[in-house]
Amino acid sequence: MLEVVLGDITGLQVEANINGGLLPERGKLITGRGAAAEDNVIYAAYTGIDVNKVREATKNALLRAEKLNLHTVALTAPANTKDGLSKKVAQVTVSEVRRYLAAGSNIKKVLFVLKEQEDYNNFLNMVNRKKIVCLGDSITYGYPYGTEVSWVRIITKQLDMHMINKGINGDTTVQMQARFDTDVVPWEPSYVIILGGTNDAFLGVDLSRVQKAFSIMVQNSFEEGICPILGLPAAVSTGGVLSDFPAEEFREVSEKLNSIRDWIKGFAANLQLPTIDFYSPLLEQSSGQGNPGYFVDGYHPNRLGYQVLAKEAGKLLSHLKFL
């Protein structure tokens, strides 16, 4: 849970204070006991106004709180409203806290404590972001039925979340990246779920281009104060009511999709990004390919398949609803 408080950090019922600021000390993190009146103070120190340092200091402070097995922390941000810094610090700090908690954490509550009204307003605006944009291809769109049958729509109804379906049939990851600024940024979401790669595999797009597209979309997310969530591309199958998937093509596409999934896993792990497994739930363990009972053709889930994907995605999103 995230909350924003206008006032002083003292007296709050939390297990630790994370004191962030543009401090003169070198290094990204200083930890230790504060004065006698302070129970536990974690200093997230960074120099200059580099937002990457803000993000790194926030992450390191949360890691320290995690090691101390703390569940509730209060975070003070630097009071600096010059040159739009307050807004950028709010974007970076809140999105980093969201990323950290979404990736899995014992921390249950983070309070952002601000002394200046403008800083408070900027942080409150970020914390109040509750939309989730789902950027993808036909598996996100809900083909061949339409958006009303999609896993996005199912979760929207089940969890009462504001989710925006930005899946376009046939899109590659490069095409998704090209429309990021128009289909994601204007919505000012708290999270963006990026699910792509299937069409790249079918079209034989080089893995390096897929990697570059994902990297740019993740970087764009960070710059806009959005927490990226990466989806592992769904399975494919030679079965299904309308399937005409040649065995040789299936093998080639499966190998390319496996390479894309493996890279996404490593990329997400390196950046500690939350992921959603859209692959395993549709698998038939005995054959190692998609279960024909979940597909309308070899490429797209049927109604039951979309329900299965929604159930899997809901495991993470039900938690994010409160962040």
CB atoms within 10 A of CB 139: 26
Rg (the chain; Cα; Å): 21
Question: Per-residue confidence at 19, pLDDT binned at 50, 70, 90?
Answer: low
- For the cut 90, the answer to whether the pLDDT of residue 82 exceeds it is no
Choice between 66 and 207, residue whose per-residue pLDDT is larger: 207
Choice between 137 and 63, residue whose per-residue pLDDT is larger: 137
What letter does residue 84 receive in the DSSP assignment?
A: G
- Nearest CA to 320 out of 181, 134, 141 is that of 134
CB proximity list for 305: less than 8 A, separation 6 or greater: 282, 294, 295, 296
Strand partners, 46: 22
- Nearest CA to 123 out of 135, 111, 134 is that of 111
Least confident window among 17-26, 65-74, 117-126, 234-243 = 17-26
- For the cut 80, the answer to whether the pLDDT of residue 84 exceeds it is no
Q: What percent of the chain has pLDDT over 70?
A: 84
Q: Tell me the per-residue pLDDT of 259-302, one tens digit each, with 9 for 90 and over.
A: 999 999 999 999 999 999 999 999 998 888 899 999 998 889 99
- For the cut 50, the answer to whether the pLDDT of residue 45 exceeds it is no
Place of tokens 């990851």: 173
Q: How far is CA 7 from CA 28, 94, 112, 323, in A?
A: 25, 18, 10, 22
CB-based contact 112:55 (threshold 8 Å): no
The whole-model pTM stands at 0.88
Q: How far is CA 173 from CA 16, 170, 199, 260, in A?
A: 42, 10, 8, 11
Strand partners, 6: 114
CA atoms within 13 A on the CB side of 265: 10
Q: What percent of the chain has pLDDT over 90?
A: 57
Which tokens is 118 given?
């403008």
